Structure 1
Amino acid sequence: MKILVTGANGFLGRNLVEQLRNQGYDELLLCDRNTSESELEQFSQEAEFVYHLAGVNRPKKETEFIKGNTEFTEKLLHLLNENPNNPAVMFASSVQAELSNPYGESKKKAESFVQAYGEKNQTPVAIYRFPNLFGKWCKPNYNSVIATFCHNIARDIPVQVNNTETELTVAYIDDVVKELISLLEKSSFNETSVLYEITPTYKVKLGELVNLINTFKESRNDLSVPQLNQNLTKKMYSTYLSYLPEDDFSYDLTMHVDDRGSFTEFIRTPDRGQLSVNISKPGIVKGNHWHHTKNEKFLVVSGQGVIRFRKIGSDNIIEYFVSERKLEVVDIPVGYTHNIENLGESNMVTLMWVNEPFDSQHPDTYYTEV
């Protein structure tokens, strides 16, 4: 299928084009500001489906709204009228089309042209009045407050919020792209309306948005991770990470080093526990303690060793031999004193998960030799 995408270098266009390619669509006719009139005419005659995403939303003069949104749409549809394929058209409009402002009015007029094209050619058309979109590759300090907040907060640049109670309706770019690609199956078109809605959308207040993004930044210091079972938070966190400066992808951890090796916390969460990296030198034994409620999981990923257990009140010692040759998780049940010994000739690296972050006031850790 030959697919024409206008506005191919924009935020939505770029994400759509890359995912189309990922899904094997390789006959893409890409139109951007550098596309010539003759190229556009040729693309319009070859297209079997059209994503019309091009538009103007931040012009220097209000008259550019009409030229970039209304007149360009009219010109494109005029060219498509000559296409024997009668390609279906998806048009990127805006919720602003419901308002009386120059931008919204230019989009509303363009919508009427798209609808008339569909009726004339008896071909499906889909008009989406998009809310605020967010995700990777959106230009900050342009038309997305989320992109601006993510970009600035990642760089310690102050952000300005005039009213923290202002509520935004937002949609995530991957959800939008998934919906748009589904239109390539004509059965996805609505037979009763040309107006389509993106789902899901989310509502978020500006004050909440700033606070959330600030927690993402702070997570490097407190080793936390967001509540990823909350869809908006999960998608917003992915978006934030895409705005990190390219020389700031990494961050240091605090290594607790002694003559036995080291112990380094990696991630800690209030509800999913704490993950750490333990390095033991050859011959070193660590542990020899037990817990009432705290429980752990050990995974040796490099080297070889033995994990020993003894139930409190018993003399029976249980041994689990572990190594990098066979990755296996060893549960550390409560009520058993336990230790881990490096039996190899090189450092042994163990990933250690515990069900709760360490609390120095309530450590629930009692020294007892195995």
Structure 2
Amino acid sequence: MKICIIAGARPNFMKIAPLIREIQRHDTLDFILVHTGQHYDYEMSEAFFKDLEIPRPGYFLNVGSASHAKQTAAIMSAFEDVCLAETPGLVLVVGDVNSTMAASIVAKKLEIKVAHIEAGLRSFDLSMPEEINRMVTDAITDYFFTTEKAADDNLVREGKPLSAIHFVGHVMIDNLLYQKERLGDLPGFLGKEFKEKYPEYFFMTLHRPSNVDDKAVLQGIFDALNEIAEETPFIFPVHPRTRKQLDAFGIRVSERIEQVPPLGFKESLYLWKDAKAVFTDSGGLQEETTGLGVPCFTLRDNTERPVTIEEGTNLLVGSKTEDILKAWQDMKEGRIKKGRIPALWDGRAAERIVDVLFEHKV
């Protein structure tokens, strides 16, 4: 049976890489990779294929940026043609982006089974587009692959059968551990000079609309970060959306916050793995920092990844100036979470997923 794997945004590539490697170990499994082009054009994605050892997609839908409705509709229309041409037996989606929801809807309307990796995660915040994508996808999924027990509990509360829920660990951690072992010294990368110059530093990312689209919120975040940077510098790969808003709002960024263009996975890992702490509003970095035991300050009021709070190194700080500064002060005074690695975050999630697919004769 043919498996159709969907990817469209940067985090998707990181999650499908270990899965593809595992599928390729089995001659009896056939797959086709569909790249929707939700966030990046094909040329920009080439770096991810190389870094993450992902084969070139069988299809590139090139949907590009648009409103949520228009982008979702474009993915659905283009992906329907793929399904009709390829007749897969299973559509496998990851995460919570528009591509995840759109491909799932198309598959179910064509009576194709759906598997969702990272199923069951909930922020319980319907102002987040990702939360809607997660809920809709899980409403029609056949195979739920979960990263933490809280996700299992959410799915059970929503009426999903236990027989369809599979706690397997996290493919993001599979990829993280695989890439860390192969990272090397990245000769020629400017980040190496930064690390040599600053023995201690923070790494940060910022991109969520709730943080960067509101001038007062964004100003408050940088009021705190600029103050912190006076003592410990930051390196800051700037998301295009954030760059646009910083310029539009005229917000001052300290010279000790080193602004660099968006980085590939390996370059980011090379920097944040040795950081004193990570400041972020990213979902993936909350998990990856827990996976390597790096302190993480999440600049959000909620998280759909509670295991990183309950067991890992993640601290939910929020976006207010005083709260960010308090978290930093606590860290300076030695009050910082140590955390532990959550269950099954051992680099073998993809193996468990493929075992389930074999067991169910997908």
Q: Shorter-chain TM-score category?
A: 0.3 to 0.5
**Greater Rg by CA:** 1
Structure number with the higher strand fraction is 1
Structure number with the higher helix fraction is 2
Give the TM-score normalised by structure 2.
Answer: 0.35
Q: Which has the higher contact order (CA 8 A, sep 6+)?
A: 2
Give the TM-score normalised by structure 1.
Answer: 0.34
